[in-house]
Amino acid sequence: MNKERLMKMAGAVRTGGKGTVRRKKKAVHKTATTDDKRLQSTLKRVGVNTIPAIEEVNIFKDDLVIQFLNPKVQASIAANTWVVSGTPQTKTNPHLH
């Protein structure tokens, strides 16, 4: 191989510039877990309590229904704060037409 081709290949694997370690791909940092931990610490500071045995939560928005099956529901009545966690399903509401 010639020197130009080797330099081109070496430059392609360097992600940070001159003087950094050669890496094939750039490391991607996950921020979702830190955001979730930050949210949970804020909710703990507000004083939310988990409400057990809730099977379903429906949120009505325009002519759509956002439905949570077996959600984790936390509430602080004093702070007027409700948290619904889970996987949502968006459906159209045929009864509103």
Band of pLDDT at residue 80, cut at 50, 70 and 90:
very high
DSSP summary character for residue 14 = B
Q: Is the pLDDT of residue 97 over 50?
A: no
Q: What is the mean pLDDT of residues 64-73?
A: 94
Helix, strand and coil in the chain, % to nearest 5? 30, 35, 40
Tokens 């509103």 appear where? Answer: 96
Walk me through the domains of the chain, giving residue ranges and CATH numbers: 48-96 (2.20.70.30)
Q: What is the pTM of this model?
A: 0.59
The predicted-structure confidence for 2-30, as pLDDT tens digits, reads as follows 888 877 776 666 666 677 777 667 777 77
The predicted-structure confidence for 41-64, as pLDDT tens digits, reads as follows 999 999 999 999 999 999 998 889
